[in-house]
Amino acid sequence: MKVKQFKYREIIFPTDEIYVIIYGDVEVRRHEAASRLSSIVGKYQEGHVIGVDELDKGQSSHLESWNICLCEVETIQMKKSDFLDLWHLQELDTKVIQYNLIKVMPLFKNISEQSLKMLAFELVTVRSY
């Protein structure tokens, strides 16, 4: 695991590693099949992970996609296998119940797993009265 910095307009293309953004913004663009034009398919900020297909449905590592830095970006780079081991440890937390509940709600049907987990594990708070 190491800190890696990218310059403005630099392309991040993960292969066997992942990048956790700790500073900056990254835009995910993809070529359309029938034209030369590209479209924006995602935007990543601090806390998002680039290169884990099961979290973003292959969006950041798709062959026709590229991840372009919108400013200077600082990331933590690590092996994909190491990250997945850490990622799955969080499922041992009691918040996994919240995640499983949110995951089946029709409102969140097309949300990536990474966004669902961020919602369940970081943004939702349970209050009892």
Where do the domains of the chain lie? 2-79, 93-129
List, as own/partner pairs, every contact residues 86-89 make where C-beta atoms lie below 8 angstroms and the sequence separation is at least 24, other chains included.
87/52, 87/55
Smallest CA-to-CA distance from 68 within 9, 116, 5 is with 9
CATH of the structural domain 2-79, one choice from 3.60.20.10, 3.40.630.30, 3.40.50.300, 2.60.120.10: 2.60.120.10
Indicate the pTM of the whole model. Answer: 0.68
Going by pLDDT thresholds of 50, 70 and 90, the confidence category of residue 91 is: low
Give the pLDDT confidence of 26-80 residue by residue, as tens digits. 999 988 777 778 888 889 999 899 988 878 777 887 778 889 999 999 999 999 9
Six-digit token pair at 8? 């403005």
